[in-house]
Amino acid sequence: MSNPESFIDEVSEELRRDRALHYLRKYGWIAVLIVVLIVGGTAWNEWRKASAQASAEAFGESVLAALENDASEARIAALSEIDATGAQQGLLQLLRAGELLETDRSAALDALQAAAQDDRLPDAYRQLAALKRIIAGQGTLPLAERQSVVAGLAQPGQPFRPLALEQSALMALESGDPERAIEILQDLLAQSDVSEGLRQRVTQLLIGLGADTGAA
């Protein structure tokens, strides 16, 4: 329930290549970033738009080709060979970290931490890396550290606030404070910017805790 699979529903219709659908379940937490890079382009002028879109599509093709390798180690190696900077480099860091989660959790957490602290990357990428590290680090990272990071991500206006609040509630349960968890979940359920998948998870958890979901 802690994996942000709700991103899949929001972006699947925008994916331009059938091959990308094969990776949606595994890479759902960054699917929105792939869409931006493949479909992207600028509105500055027609020439720059066409040039940026061609570059983004070429990058997307390279990423998809790398992910077609059967072995995780081969996928990591292929991703490492792709030339990229800025936002594209951030996406590669997140993809490599996702692959490492299957083979070397400690290395994956280090990679996510590096991405979260890389001030060359867009802030949304850094926050996504930080959130993924917190989710992947359950049972490994100290509770106090995870709570501190999530508190920042859950501030009003932050791009991943709903998911961060979900994690805050789960950590409240982990620390033995179900009342606080219920309070966070009920507040989250009352917000308008909550995806349907997250809303269902929150509702199910509240029902499991014997709390009011606000349903008629």
Q: Are residues 121 and 162 in the same domain?
A: no
pLDDT at 181 over 90: yes
Q: Round to whole Å and give the CA distance between 150 and 134.
A: 8
Average pLDDT value for residue range 81-98: 81
Q: Final residue of a domain: which of 119, 141, 163?
A: 141
For the chain, the helix, strand and coil percentages under 3-state DSSP, each to the nearest 5 = 70, 0, 30
Structurally, how many domains does the chain consist of?
Answer: 2
Query: Does one domain contain both 135 and 113?
Result: yes
Residues 69 and 168 in one domain: no
**115 and 12 in one domain?**
yes
Task: Verify that 112 and 183 share a domain, yes or no.
Answer: no
Q: In this structure, are residues 79 and 63 in contact, taking their beta carbons and an 8 Å threshold? A: yes
78 with 120, same domain?
Answer: yes
pLDDT digits (tens, 9 = 90+) for 67-89: 888 888 888 888 888 887 777 77
In this prediction, residue 170 has a pLDDT band, given cuts at 50, 70 and 90, of very high
Based on the domain organization, do 146 and 134 belong to the same domain?
no
Domain boundary among 112, 141, 170: 141
User: Residue 52 corresponds to which amino acid?
Assistant: A
Do 186 and 92 reside in the same domain of the chain? no
Verify that 75 and 181 share a domain, yes or no: no
Are 170 and 131 within one domain? Answer: no
**pLDDT surpasses 70 at 162:** yes
Domain range for 207 is 142-216
- State whether 203 and 110 are in the same domain: no
Using 50, 70 and 90 to split pLDDT, how confident is the model at 43? very low
- Distance between alpha carbon 14 and the CA centroid of its chain, in Å? 17
Decide which of 123, 141, 159 is a domain's last residue: 141
Encoding tokens for residue 49? 């738009």
28 vs 155, which has greater pLDDT? 155
User: In this structure, what token pair is assigned to residue 86?
Assistant: 């800025």
pLDDT digits 0-9 by tens, 117-132:
888 788 888 898 999 9
Same domain, 117 and 208: no
For the segment 98-126, the average pLDDT, to the nearest whole number, is 86
